[in-house]
Amino acid sequence: MVKEFNLVIIGGGPAGMAAALEAYALGIKDIAILERDDSLGGILKQCIHNGFGLHVFKEELTGPEYALRFSEKIKDTDITVLLNTMVINAEKNKTLYAVNPDFGFMTIKAKAVILAMGCRERSRGALRIPGANVAGIFTAGTAQRFVNMEGILPGTKAVILGSGDIGLIMARRMTLEGIKVLGVYEIMDYPGGLTRNIVQCLDDFNIPLHLSTTIVKIHGIGRVTGVTTAKVDKNMIPIKGTEEYVECDTLLLSVGLIPENELTEQMGVGMYQVTGGAYVDQDLETDTEGIFACGNVLHVHDLVDYVTMEGQKAARSAKAYIDESMEQKKTKPEIKVVPGNGLRYVLPQHIYLKDNDEKIRVFFRSKARYKDVLVRALINNEVIAKKKVIRLIPSEMESVEIKASDLYIKTDNGINLKDLVIEVEQ
Amino acid sequence: MNYDICIIGAGVVGSLIARQLSKYKVKIAVIERNVDVSMDATGANSGIVHSGYDAKIGTKKARFNVEGCNMMPKLCEDLSVKCKMIGSFVLAFDKDDEKVLQQLYDNGIKNGVTGMAIVDRDFILQKEPYVNPLVTKALYAKNAGIVSPYKLNIAAMDNAIMNGVMFLRETKVTGIEKKDGLFHIAVDVTGDICSMSKIDPIKEEDRTDITAKIIINCAGAHADEISHMAGDDSFKIIPRRGEYILFDKTEGSRINTVLFQTPTEKGKGILVTPTVDGNLMIGPDATLAQDKDDKCTNSDNLDYVYKTATQSYTGLNMKKSITVFAGIRATPSTSDFIIEESSKCKNFINVAGIESPGLTASPAIAVYVEGIVRSLMEMKEKAKDEYTMTVKHDKPFSEMTNEEKEKACSSDELCRKIICRCETVSEKEIVAAIYSPCGARTVDGVKKRTRAGMGRCQGGFCSPHVMRILSEHTGIPVNRIAKANANSCMLGRYSRG
Amino acid sequence: MKKDIICIVCPKGCMIHVDYDENGINSMEGYSCKRGIDYATAEILSPTRMITSSVKIDNAKYTVCPVKTSCPVNKDKIQDVMKNICCVQVQAPVKQGDVIIKDVCGTGADIIATQTLEEEKQL
């Protein structure tokens, strides 16, 4: 079966739903969302804690409530929602192959594609934690699904490796369900999650957070019976003699998220190593014409609100592309955006120069922790934007706004093309 | 229950022997302490089909390696198991290594290995661009390859069960007594997964008062203990652990051949190989294991595996590792395979100490053991239509062309539900794995048969779905579904009763 | 008595040192703004938390339905509220916003559904 759409959005989580609704509001006809689960909402459905929506809705919602704000609206549109639909292959010419219980094998052709597949969790194997190959080891998100959707607890005594937000949230969630959470172990010398979660998920329940500590071995026969922890030195190498045995039957891993870009790579879209997502311009367009990316598949976000906004932006760009009102980029001069001193990555990674009053927001993450610093945007050694940041930490995304016209002028009207550097002022 | 033949241990050797004997009119049981086949040495094996230049001339290892290597492609075809004869290199980096290559070559000729050649650097690098460019020469063996050890094991047992063999899983032999020429085998039940399952539950009478005329001891690392029960202490099994690192399929596409290092006095080196399913794998080291069942990986050993592998292969990207695992090899105190009727106990056949190249040798061992059994007992072959030596499998969804996928989806609703995204496994394949003759009862069982959970997310997304499907079909409650044996429940209690 | 409180109102995360006794707060330092004072005061005098959890549901595609308190409740009521949440059982369909428990444990807060779950036909 062949289906054709103007816009196909892969993924019906927060990014995909926001993109679909925005595209619909802008008047795009024939929009489809392809979602692998049996309902829209993505990972939000299992994030039953609150704290979502402060930026977008100016109120605190739980994950399912946040998702419903979008999925209920989508019901009132003629957006085609294909659930239980797995896209199994994709081509550069925006032909997708998908499988779905109602239609079987489908060939789907799109004028424009928005990638919104989200991310997956880093597993034990990727970390190569040595020890027994036993049951009882979960990524925090998988455990969250079991507890919050299936209503089954992972075990009785748990240790959490990594202080990412999902791990912290699960520490509280499991404690409330009567599971003894013995501690959270973080290899870095600072926590990975938000302060608010450290306070409300750990401190409230007297769950210890062990910094500069990791798990060096998993023990057990059949099921986890304990872990050996060890302090690490500043190169994150375990220090001999600091090992401690902790008895537990469950180990949760909250050690990072990886954008799910297998389809993106199949489509031949260029990737940016640091984020693990596509290489995009200020319109969130990848290096392949008409393919846009947003949300956690592009780079891992810390707030869903920003995912929503990014989804909306991708939809606006897709609209311009479909209407053919998007400027012909191939003929335009382009500059690279690169992370300078103190920064790990920037997004977008390249900008097409135009002489208009468009404001371009460049997102970035730092490599280390800073207090009261200036982040600046430099081109040809001239500062074109500055921002004071009270607290700059790797786990919180920041941004700086740049005027398109400034870039245009500082590159001598797009002739003297130098990289735009975003950096922490030394 | 009275059996003619009891095979103890359902690794690849035990299962292939069961299959080989299943064409006769005899009553056979395979007794396995684990919940599934392939859960010890076979399950954590390099999966290499060795050409046979390695083993000392005149040994059983040499004979069965060369014979088994020649049999492997046809056997795999019969059992619908992937086997790729992609060839192997033994890489040399200096004059000393080169000398060893020549010795291996000469030994190979004596063992009857064909298709070997000593090749130069250009030949190697042209075939394998990521080999360390300091390589000087290599022994190339055309007649070598890769096979999935657990797929071969599963298919062999499927075939045996199709021909009427009784598979007693979760059943551990605790004692053997011989009375009036008949073996009485005492067993313990080690778990309840298979009796809980509503598909082919093990009937209690099948493992009560077990007797056998012939016992074939294929108990791997525990073979010496089983032999001891029969009164034969002529050998010991020394458990050695080998550790591996498995990489994403993105990494497997850059390697075409099995890469060995030149064996030295210190050891056999670390091999770098693609797997039949397209991953890249490195390993194994060899350390003495204190405990025969200690399959823990260790950071020092994994570091050693990685560092040693980088000496011969430059294409390793540790960011792309997806899992690590360890296996226990059954090294015999006699240094050669032990495949014979015990001199201490009549009708008790030891098939023990089957360390590397045991997987390669296994098809030939099965035929040889068939001969031993025939010499001990009169057996009549079944009529041609009463047994089969082939297993047919549907093509995995992930390997179908678009046209084939479309056709499969239009005829079968379960094909349209993709459960594992990383490996594109449909619900149909998972259900088929559960209902196959030697059916999957656990999450690992499904994983080995279908690859669901074998990919880069390691079951993060699909394990809840796999558990639901297992539960729906076997009737085992979701929170009792195990990863491997019954002591490995995936989850705890229902939070709301 | 002395207590250190990490302020969570904004990302800055000020460490606020509070000196207090049974009569109330005596002194406070380390805050950077009024919101910090308000937060620390509430944390000392009557700390409250939103509770999110799930209740058992029948005839839905999942066995549990997520819920929350309609407003923050006193922190020392958390265990009591959880006990109540664990005992109730609802029938699908449930709509987001439906009140599951009225005035839970006399806190003045209701337990409300945060998800909409349709009735699934039983096989």
Q: Do C53 and A176 make contact, defined as CB atoms within 8 angstroms?
A: yes
Q: Residue A141: which of B402, B460, B488 has the nearest Cβ? A: B460
State if pTM tops 0.80: yes
pLDDT value for C8 = 87
| Mean pLDDT value of segment A315-335 | 87
pLDDT of residue A126: 85
Give φ, ψ of A375 to 5 degrees: -105, 135
Instruction: Give mean pLDDT, residues A207-236.
Output: 97
Note whether A152 contacts B409, CB cutoff 8 Å.
no
pLDDT band at A416 (very low <50, low <70, confident <90, very high): confident
> pLDDT category, C123, cuts 50, 70, 90?
low
Partner-chain contact C50 A396, CB within 8 Å: no
For residue B442, what pLDDT is reported?
A: 98
pLDDT band at A390 (very low <50, low <70, confident <90, very high): confident
Whether A399 has its CB under 8 Å from any CB of chain C: the answer is no
In terms of pLDDT, which residue wins out, A426 or C33? C33
Nearest-angstrom CA–CA distance, A12 and A23: 14
The pLDDT value given to residue C40 = 94
**Residue B496 C-alpha, separation from nearest chain C C-alpha, in angstroms:** 6
Kindly list the partner chains of chain A, i.e. chains with 3 or more CB atom pairs below 8 Å.
B, C
| Average pLDDT of span A336-359 | 94
Asked if residue A125 has pLDDT above 90, the reply is no
ipTM: 0.94
Q: Which of B319, B406, B485 sits opposite A104 (nearest CB)?
A: B406
**What confidence score (pLDDT) does residue A53 get?**
95
Provide the pLDDT for residue B465.
Answer: 95
Whole-Å CA distances, B353 to B222, B231, B329, B395:
10, 17, 8, 35
The mean pLDDT value for A99-116 works out to 96
Over residues A297-321, mean pLDDT: 96
pLDDT grade for A56, boundaries at 50, 70 and 90: very high
Asked if A86's CB is within 8 angstroms of B418's CB, the reply is yes
The pLDDT of residue B65 is: 98
Task: Choose among A48, A198, A199: nearest Cβ to C54.
Answer: A48
DSSP A239: P
Name every residue whose Cβ is closer than 8 Å to that of residue B443 and which is 6 or more positions away in sequence.
Answer: B453, B459, B463, B466, B467, B470, B481, B482, B483, B484, B490
- Tell me the average pLDDT of chain A: 95
Using a CB-CB distance cutoff of 8 angstroms, which residues of chain A are in contact with residue C87?
none
Do residues A111 and A7 make contact, with C-beta atoms less than 8 angstroms apart?
Answer: yes
Residue C49 to residue A200, Cβ atoms within 8 A: yes
Q: Is A262 on the interface with B (CB under 8 A)?
A: yes
Q: Which chains touch B (3 or more CB pairs under 8 A)?
A: A, C
Going by pLDDT thresholds of 50, 70 and 90, the confidence category of residue A324 is: confident
Question: What DSSP element (H or E) covers A355?
Answer: none
Work out the minimum CA distance from B232 to partner chain C, whole angstroms: 56
Per-window interface: A 217-276 vs C, CB < 8 A:
none
Q: How far is B490 from chain A (nearest CA, A)?
A: 5
Q: How far apart are CA B397 and CA A10, in angstroms?
A: 21
Average pLDDT over residues A41-53: 96
Q: Would residue B393 show up in a list of annotated catalytic residues for this protein?
A: no
Closest CA of chain A from C106, distance in Å: 20
* Alpha-carbon distance C63 to nearest alpha carbon in chain B (angstroms): 8
A222 touches chain B (CB under 8 A): yes
Q: How many CB pairs under 8 A join A and B?
A: 151
* Tens place of pLDDT per residue across chain B (497 aa): 999 999 999 999 999 999 999 999 999 999 999 999 999 999 999 999 999 999 999 999 999 999 999 999 999 999 999 999 999 999 999 999 999 999 999 999 999 999 999 999 999 999 999 999 999 999 999 999 999 999 999 999 999 999 999 999 999 999 999 999 999 999 999 999 999 999 999 999 999 999 999 999 999 999 999 999 999 999 999 999 999 999 999 999 999 999 999 998 877 899 999 999 999 999 999 999 999 999 999 999 999 999 999 999 999 999 899 999 999 999 999 999 999 999 999 999 999 999 999 999 999 999 999 999 999 999 999 999 999 999 998 899 999 999 999 999 999 999 999 999 999 999 999 999 999 999 999 999 999 999 999 998 899 899 999 999 999 999 999 999 999 999 999 999 999 87
Q: Tell whether the torsion through CA atoms of A128, A133, A138 and A142 is positive or negative.
A: positive
What pLDDT is stored for residue B431 in this prediction? 98
Nearest by CB: A135 against B326, B405, B483: B483
